Structure 1
Amino acid sequence: MSGAQLSGTFHFAAVAKRECCADVIFVHGLTGDAVETWTCSASSEAEGNYWPNWLSADLPSLSFYTIGYPAGVFAQWAKKEMNLHERAKSTLETLAGYSFGDKPIVFVCHSLGGLLVKQMLRTAAESNDDGWNRIADSCAGIYFLATPHTGSSLADLLKTFVRRLTSVHVDKLAMESPELDDLNESFRMYCHGRKIDVCAYYEKYKTHNVALVVDKRSADPGVGGAPAIAVDADHLTICKPTSRHDVVYLGIHRRLKKLAFEHEDRAIGDAFASDDLQERGEDRRTLLEKMASANREHEYMFANESQNRFAREFFQQGLITRKSQLHNNLLADVEQYFQSLIYHPLICTGANNAVISAAILREVIEPLSFKYSAHRASTKTIMNALYFLTERCHVRWDAP
């Protein structure tokens, strides 16, 4: 885990920051911590006890982050000295400063961290700041773990964890919480018309054997279609799955995996115009004519079978799948490497075939087979792709 303290009291850390299709941000609640909240001491998983690391290992196309802040801010709810809005603005400014919002964002929130996220989204949506607006517009999912969406459940939570507050303050909150009602209403309006995956988990066990802090009714965010799911845990352990078989981990993993697939395909469609490497290029000679012109006609039978093998798999993938995109990326690399390292410096300057063949192996086939080794590409895969590009008229083996 890596990260930096961004201010005296606010922490923002990257669990796994990488090229990805979406960002997942964990937000703790009252008395919480950026790491401890999400850590179960009883876990025996290979990646340790910190379950954001499990998700990072299982979903490599996503980036994961945690936010830490002074959770005592929520005590101000009971005193009616609202400070949640200030914390929301501070968090938004931090996220915007790190360019969040350029990709979809998913929030995983424990307890009162869900209220902070709801306030952040409201503030961002109503702001004139473009960076904040992007965060509001990019939210693709919110997963609440025992978040109290009603005044009575918030009062129960404060009674349990903030003992210095007087019962007068807390009882008043339980009876009337116009700020919380207003926040709930704004959240429902925010979700209306947006494609946001929302779900909520609630505890079934009493915390400290005293109180069931957030029950099914209070855990319901009031968004149509958002399920409320029971968990065999109390308020403190609901955010600490003990293994990958825990209902919280299974549910959030499944939802994140679905979102990842959706946004990977969307990214493929939105990123760049297709190179159309399956279409024929400018040099319309047959493969045999090209090989003969380069004094390589003896390679024709091998070249033809190689390109056919690559073509059969390539065209079976369709036009928009992730595997098709992988093939397109490989072909683009093969063409670029061949043109810049072989064709222009060697073929166009009259190098003999022995020099050219050695350079192809050294400069194109070996480096690219290593680059794509995680996808089981071999040296033969790269050679097949090169012959495919030759047959499709994207590369030539003789000087113009």
Structure 2
Amino acid sequence: MTDVNLKLPPTPEEYGANERADSPETRTEDLFSQSGDSISEERQLGLDIVYPLGWSGSYYSGYDLVTVHGIRDDYKTAWTQEDGTWWLKDKLFKHVSIREVDYSYEVDEEAAIFEVDGIGLHAERLLTAYSKDRASFEETEIDRPIIWICHDLGGTIVKEALCRAITNSKKYGKIAILTTTIIFLGTPHQVLSVPDLAEQIQSTKIF
């Protein structure tokens, strides 16, 4: 019998390691670690990059992973499991180099999201902060691709943000055209009218 040496395909772990080995690290990590050696575990309102827990490293083949939570979520724990695991970085995108960028907003009874143009307001805040953030990239990372993950009404904020971004690239840069993936989790995609959507939002208040 003839011996045959079979070359098995790489395991997911090997694939991730090889992909990163072929893609050198960048200076982006330096740009967003201004606090030196300090480690932050607390998410903040607005656009927030929790360094280094939301990072798997910064590589030229990496992605920005932008999250927007829903109106029933606690923004401080929306993207972590009970044991504190950052499930997007550590599980869903375990083999991909990502920089998790969270956009958070208040959901109490008096929150801006429940105002007449609350969705537009947060879409604008998200775009303004995120475009400013990306302007800090070194030249070789300006075209870093974007993945969006949004839950519930967070998906509506993202849709509004991308509609604005694609019609005003001079103000917001390439955010729209560099979007490669949008993952909607329980996002309402069809309503009869804006007043109908507003009524649905009001009915979800659980205070």
TM-score w.r.t. the length of structure 1 is 0.33
Given that residues 28 and 109 in structure 1 are in contact (C-alpha distance below 8 angstroms), is that contact kept between their aligned partners in structure 2? yes
Task: Tell me whether 96-105 or 111-120 shows the greater mean CA deviation.
Answer: 96-105
For 2:151 and 2:81, the matched residues in 1 are separated by 14
Given that residues 11 and 69 in structure 1 are in contact (C-alpha distance below 8 angstroms), is that contact kept between their aligned partners in structure 2? no
Q: Can you give the 5+ residue segments of structure 1 that lack an aligned partner in the other structure?
A: 165-400
Query: What CA RMSD, in Å, does the superposition of the two structures yield over aligned residues?
Result: 3.0
**Matching residue of 2:64:** 23
**Matching residue of 1:89:** 124
Q: 1:73 aligns with which of 108, 112, 134?
A: 112
Q: Which has the larger radius of gyration?
A: 1
For 2:41 and 2:131, the matched residues in 1 are separated by 16
Given that residues 10 and 70 in structure 1 are in contact (C-alpha distance below 8 angstroms), is that contact kept between their aligned partners in structure 2? no
Deviation at 1:24, TM superposition (A): 1.0
For 1:103 and 1:82, the matched residues in 2 are separated by 31
The 5 Å alignment of 1:1-400 reads 2=40, 9-14=45-50, 15-16=54-55, 18-21=58-61, 22-41=63-82, 48-55=84-91, 58-71=94-107, 72-76=111-115, 81-99=116-134, 102-127=143-168, 129-130=170-171, 132-151=172-191, 154=197, 155-156=199-200, 158-159=202-203, 161-163=204-206
SS of 1:114's equivalent in the other structure is helix
For 2:169 and 2:80, the matched residues in 1 are separated by 37
For 1:57 and 1:24, the matched residues in 2 are separated by 9
Query: Aligned pair in 2 of structure 1 residues 32, 107: CA closer, same or farther (>3 Å)?
Result: same
For 1:20 and 1:113, the matched residues in 2 are separated by 28
For 2:132 and 2:147, the matched residues in 1 are separated by 18
The amino acid of 2:190's aligned partner reads T
Deviation at 1:69, TM superposition (A): 2.0
The amino acid of 1:147's aligned partner reads T
Given that residues 115 and 147 in structure 1 are in contact (C-alpha distance below 8 angstroms), is that contact kept between their aligned partners in structure 2? yes
The amino acid of 1:75's aligned partner reads F
Given that residues 4 and 12 in structure 1 are in contact (C-alpha distance below 8 angstroms), is that contact kept between their aligned partners in structure 2? no
Q: Give % identity.
A: 23
Given that residues 113 and 122 in structure 2 are in contact (C-alpha distance below 8 angstroms), is that contact kept between their aligned partners in structure 1? no
Q: Can you give the 5+ residue segments of structure 2 that lack an aligned partner in the other structure?
A: 1-38, 136-141
Query: Aligned pair in 2 of structure 1 residues 2, 102: CA closer, same or farther (>3 Å)?
Result: farther
CA deviations 1:282-308 (Å, max 9, x no partner) are xxxxxxxxxxxxxxxxxxxxxxxxxxx
Query: Aligned pair in 2 of structure 1 residues 18, 55: CA closer, same or farther (>3 Å)?
Result: farther
Query: Aligned pair in 2 of structure 1 residues 136, 2: CA closer, same or farther (>3 Å)?
Result: farther
SS of 2:117's equivalent in the other structure is coil
For 2:60 and 2:201, the matched residues in 1 are separated by 36
Bigger fraction of residues in helix = 1
The amino acid of 1:73's aligned partner reads A
Query: Aligned pair in 2 of structure 1 residues 103, 37: CA closer, same or farther (>3 Å)?
Result: same
Deviation at 1:35, TM superposition (A): 3.4
Query: Aligned pair in 2 of structure 1 residues 3, 140: CA closer, same or farther (>3 Å)?
Result: farther
SS of 1:39's equivalent in the other structure is coil
**Higher-RCO chain (CA-CA 8 Å, sequence separation at least 6):** 2
CA deviations 1:107-153 (Å, max 9, x no partner) are 000000000100110111111525x1310111001000000122379
Query: Aligned pair in 2 of structure 1 residues 65, 3: CA closer, same or farther (>3 Å)?
Result: farther
CA deviations 1:159-182 (Å, max 9, x no partner) are 2x3157xxxxxxxxxxxxxxxxxx
TM-score w.r.t. the length of structure 2 is 0.60
Deviation at 1:91, TM superposition (A): 1.1
CA deviations 1:54-77 (Å, max 9, x no partner) are 24872242322222122433322x
Query: Aligned pair in 2 of structure 1 residues 113, 35: CA closer, same or farther (>3 Å)?
Result: same
Given that residues 23 and 106 in structure 1 are in contact (C-alpha distance below 8 angstroms), is that contact kept between their aligned partners in structure 2? yes
